[in-house]
Amino acid sequence: MSTYIDQMGQSVEVPEFARRIISLVPSQTELLFDLGLGDRVVGLTRFCIHPEDQVCKKERIGGTKDFDLKKIKALEPDLIIGNKEENYPEGIAALQKSFPVWMSDIYTLHDAYQMMIAIGDMTATELTARDLVAEIQNEFAALVRHRQLPDGLTAAYLIWRKPYMVAAHHTFIDYMMGILGVRNAFAGLSRYPEVTAARLTESQPDLIFLSSEPYSFTDKHIAEFQQLCPRAKVMIVDGEMFSWYGSRLRQAAEYLSLLRDNILEARI
């Protein structure tokens, strides 16, 4: 056994070669497969959708916030990987009584890089993880060198409807908005607050991002928000590119670059 410190500061005793891994977080599930650990993944959540051709063969253990403890115990994992934000504390505490549970806690790209390298270290795929991190770092360095948005643009990032909910301060989404070059119109609030239609109108954002997840906003919702904020540019955005902090980040920099171009072409 080896001892590792997770991103919540907890000591986790992990076998030298974990053979039965369960992931409780979709973006970290995809990372495990991209590190070449697919054969060692025995369980994942119903929200784990990438890579599609491989996750369909794995046992589903429930959702990120309502996983089935009996199913997990039956799979006899020797490593469980979760996340502070996406998993519920009571369930994690119950699992920690019987299994090694390594928890991530991610708000920045640096946090994401640390998570990838730590998982690589625990699973004997550290070189692959470091190559992956280097690739993502290079992609984001190129994004920074690309043409920039005008200073002072504000954006509201909607994650839910009925009630309206936004991504505010102290979230990975807020950090990625900063990378894009926009200021969060709800930076004065914390986490994922509910906001009224009147509050959204009062915020007068230059941009409104309607995320594809967790609520599946589509083009049919644009008019609703355009009526609330007539001067704003309302756009559907890929939620995975703003909130998935695993290997999907390889695609995120290019996506943000194209989104930036679309905003510039809209002449906000």
pLDDT in tens, 185-237: 999 999 999 999 999 999 999 999 999 999 999 999 999 999 999 999 999 99
Whether 161 and 259 share a structural domain: yes
What's 12's domain CATH number?
3.40.50.1980
Per-residue pLDDT of 46-98, as tens digits, reads 999 999 999 999 999 999 999 999 999 999 999 999 999 999 999 999 999 99
What would the DSSP string read from start to end of 129-179?
HHHHHHHHHHHHHHHHHSPPPPTT-EEEEEEETTTTEE--BSSHHHHHHHH
Domain end among 105, 121, 143: 105
Whether 91 and 176 share a structural domain: no
**How high is the mean pLDDT of the chain?**
96
Angle, CA 31 vertex, CA 27 and CA 37 arms, to 5°: 135
Q: How far apart are CA 268 and CA 265, in angstroms?
A: 8
**Per-residue pLDDT at 147 exceeds 80:** no
Short-list 221, 253, 216, 215, CA closest to 234: 221
- Give residue 8's domain range: 2-105
Predicted pLDDT of residue 145: 83
> Is 234 within a domain?
yes
**Per-residue pLDDT at 179 exceeds 70:** yes
Whether 8 and 69 share a structural domain: yes
Judged by average pLDDT, the poorest of 118-122, 148-152, 183-187 is 148-152
Domain end among 105, 138, 171: 105
Q: Can you tell me whether residue 238 is helix, strand or coil?
A: coil
Please tell me the number of Cα atoms within 13 Å of 157 on its side-chain side: 30
Q: How far apart are CA 101 and CA 157, in angstroms?
A: 32
Total domains, the chain: 2
> Is 85 within a domain?
yes
Residue range 14-39: average pLDDT? 96
Q: How far apart are CA 28 and CA 160, in angstroms?
A: 23
> Is 65 within a domain?
yes
Q: What global pTM score does this model have?
A: 0.94
Predicted pLDDT of residue 41: 98
Q: Can you tell me whether residue 17 is helix, strand or coil?
A: coil
